[in-house]
Chain A
Amino acid sequence: MAFYEQHIHPKPKTFLSKYIFSYDHKVIGKQFLWYGIFFLFVGGLMALMIRWTLAYPGQPFPVIGKFLFPETGGAVPPDTYAMLFTMHGTIMIFYAITPILIGAFGNFCIPLMLGARDMAFPLLNMLSFNVAVISGALLLGSLFTPLGAAAGGWTSYPTLSTLIGSPGVGQTLWTLAIFVLGVSSTMGAVNYITTIITLRAPGMGYFDMPLTIWGLGLTAVLNAIFLPVLGAGCLLLIFDRVFGTTFFLAGAAATTGTGDPVLFQHVFWIFGHPEVYILILPAWGIVSDLLSFFARKPAFGAKATALAMTSITILSTLVYGHHMFTTQMSPLLTQTFMTLTMTISIPSAIFFTNWLGTIWKGSIRFHSPMLFSLGVVFVFGLGGLTGLYLGTVTTDLYLHDTYFVVGHFHYTMAASVLLGGFAATYFWMPKMFGTLMNEFWAKVHFWITMMGLNGVFFAMMLVGYGGMHRRIFNPFIYEFTQKLIPLNTFATWSAIVMGFAQIIFVINFVHAVFFKKEKASDNPWEVGTLEWTIPSPAPHYNFKEIPVVKCGPHELGNPNLSGSKDFQYQTEELA
């Protein structure tokens, strides 16, 4: 095991060095968590406005509509609607999910679960967060530009995203913000990979790492390789917008140029498909671990799960073309991408077998993190299976760019990742902040969220099957969408229910972080990974002595164990 002497750094004293410009991976993790929660709120509010408009186009948005859109008496106008769904997508993917799952839990968990005192490069880690803040500021700033924020969809296909389709400075700022965020995430990714390779505690082989680390590590690999691809696309788009190059402008009646707008789609999806797995892999890892922890038995086929994750990582780079079936690639490419897309279901099926195998004959404790993890299995099952319709080219000809796609990717990217993020938050709360969140309200939060999100996302798939296409302000001007009005209304009210359920979470969270007196014990969930061998909340140097690992991360329910303890710490010899 490669490791080197890790010094115990002196504790930071001033407020600035302790909370703002901190090198400590735990503080940076918390910073990312707050950052992500803030953007989750912004993006969620946007989602509610979008849903409201889809159910009641032209009617004022309740309560805050009058302040936001005074010119229209509180209703969302069509141009603002386009900005709303663009920013909703961008914020949720790049500024909410990525910081929470990868930024917060990646930073927090990797050193703790590996038995290290900090990341390999603490300074790089801090810079990564600072750059992310700059990017967030750019994005929020674009909301207040004269012509408004970017409005070309989160995919920002040219030529709509060039000066022809969106002349305002908002789109330029958007592109720049994504580029800057890419730099931040790449910095983080290099750090994660190096840390995982070099700072594992002595005795910890790759298969002794918790599956969370596997998920985060593979995510980092994808990030390091594919974010620069998006970065290059963004750069070319910025050049097109600012310096007048013609990469994405093709000769057509209203445009001149010898470029090719479809090239951006290729570049975007070469990045964009791995991005889906970038978002979901950490959640898969966390869920695989939590299912084992709360079923009180070792993770079923942990090695197979890790290898399945790896093979998905590799496959994810080869299938991007299924996003572009309607652009008429050559038939051979279409068939190749269709077939490759389908192979992804082999590792996915292995996942599901292993997840169900883990809870099979377990002794399940239904604490809130477990509920959320089981929720992930359910919604990811739905999301994964509905992907099949979009992978086969003929059904995709009908379903492409309809709400079916929207429902599908919300199930896989939003629902699964959100539930995985909640599971992680409830689970690591004691190690992060030293307190446990209220179990009862956590469960209430879970059930209402589950109802809300299934209501909204399943209804989305149904209206998509009914033919309603995406990104339309008022769907009801078409004859064929008339009958979908009740379903849209249902989806909207489900979204509102889901939105309100998050208030429970926020209150529970804020209360636990700032006001709760009762401290959590060092190991409230009774699990054996390294972060639970140290006090709660984790001290600033993490481990007084670098631990020596002697067994795997999921040693629970071993019948050879005597006494009341049914689990083993990773630092203990296998019984």
Chain B
Amino acid sequence: MAVAVVNDKSIERDVQRNAQRERATSSIAMVMTLVSFSMLFATLMLGYIAYRFTSEVWPPLGMQRASLGLPTISTVIILMSSLSYFLCEGGFSKGDHKSFKTYFWITLLLGIGFMVSQLFLWRDLKLSGIYVDTTVFASIIYAFTWVHAAHVIGGIVALLLLFPTLLGKREKLKSELWIKNVGQFWHFLGIVWVIIYFGIFVF
């Protein structure tokens, strides 16, 4: 380690290097976190695959498939929220505080909207006679949507943690890391939902 000569340039370089390293640290941690979350959902999917391929008829015991309407709406909502989060991130990195703010609120609303659509989905399932204890088919639908919904609530809480940035009370580097990490988690939930949608409702 060479002894740094103290002048403005070297301080500037130090600050930049420091920022780079903090970014690296945060992204390593986030990758590990997402690996953990993926393993959770992967195990659920593995269980689903095991049930799916060992049973001769699916859905079993003459059960109705769940109607595709509400899940499709949920899918559209969550994909739109992901998109709006992209725009929100873009707004922040361009320094466009207004578009950042606007798209943040849209994302949050769409997140809540997704939860509402899930509530309707559960009500709809109940009305169409798919109860949680009927067969493993119903159990899978409920359990997967529950676990995913719980994580979406976590995601909404994570969005709320961006408030200090929104109010301009967080330093720039920290804000950038927060927005990036929350975003990764939010997109991850979107991907998981798409897999659930195609894996369980469509396929």
Contact = CB atoms under 8 A, between A and B. Distances in A.
Kindly state the interface size class of chain A when it binds its partner.
35 or more
25 contacts: A2-B24, A4-B17, A120-B29, A186-B36, A194-B25, A194-B29, A194-B32, A198-B25, A198-B28, A224-B32, A225-B36, A228-B40, A232-B39, A232-B40, A232-B41, A232-B47, A243-B132, A245-B138, A245-B139, A247-B140, A258-B51, A258-B55, A259-B51, A259-B139, A260-B50
B131 to A, nearest CB: 8
A477 to B, nearest CB: 38
A138 B128 CA distance: 38
A3 B146 CA distance: 40
A236 B47 contact: yes
Interface string A186-210: 1001110110011000110000000
B47 A226 contact: no
B139 A4 contact: no
A202 B1 CA distance: 8
A257 interface: yes
B32 to A, nearest CB: 5
Kindly state the interface size class of chain B when it binds its partner.
35 or more
A465 to B, nearest CB: 35
Interface string A221-254: 0001111110111011001100111110000000
A246 B21 contact: no
A189 B39 CA distance: 14
Interface string A527-554: 0000000000000000000001000000
A235 B44 CA distance: 10
A32 B17 CA distance: 35
Contact of A239 (B24, B137, B139): B139
A401 to B, nearest CB: 24
Contacts of B156: none
B25 A247 contact: no
Contacts of A233: 43
A246 B142 CA distance: 11
Contacts of B39: 225-226, 228-229, 232
B54 A260 contact: yes
A548 B3 CA distance: 12
A283 B21 CA distance: 31
Nearest to A197: B28
Given A4-B18, A190-B29, A194-B29, A232 B36 contact: no
Interface in A132-174: none
Interface string B117-148: 00000000000000011011111101100110
B35 A225 contact: yes
Contacts of A19: none
A352 interface: no
Say what secondary structure dominates the interface of chain B.
helix
Nearest to B27: A194
A244 B50 contact: no
Interface in B1-40: 1, 14, 17-18, 21-22, 24-25, 28-29, 32-33, 35-37, 39-40
A485 interface: no
B32 A259 contact: no
Given A120-B29, A246-B139, A224 B36 contact: yes
A202 B47 CA distance: 45
A479 interface: no
A5 interface: yes
Contacts of B40: 228-229, 231-232
Contact of B61 (A2, A3, A198, A258): A258
A121 interface: yes
A500 B148 CA distance: 49
Given A4-B21, A202-B1, A236-B143, A246 B32 contact: no
A3 B139 CA distance: 47
Contacts of A257: 135-136
B143 A247 contact: yes
A575 interface: no
B164 interface: no
A264 to B, nearest CB: 9
A441 B104 CA distance: 64
Contacts of A548: 1
A516 B136 CA distance: 61
A193 B32 contact: yes
The interface centre, meaning the residue of B28, B54, B135, B142 with most chain A CB atoms within 10 A of its CB, is B28
A346 interface: no
B63 to A, nearest CB: 10
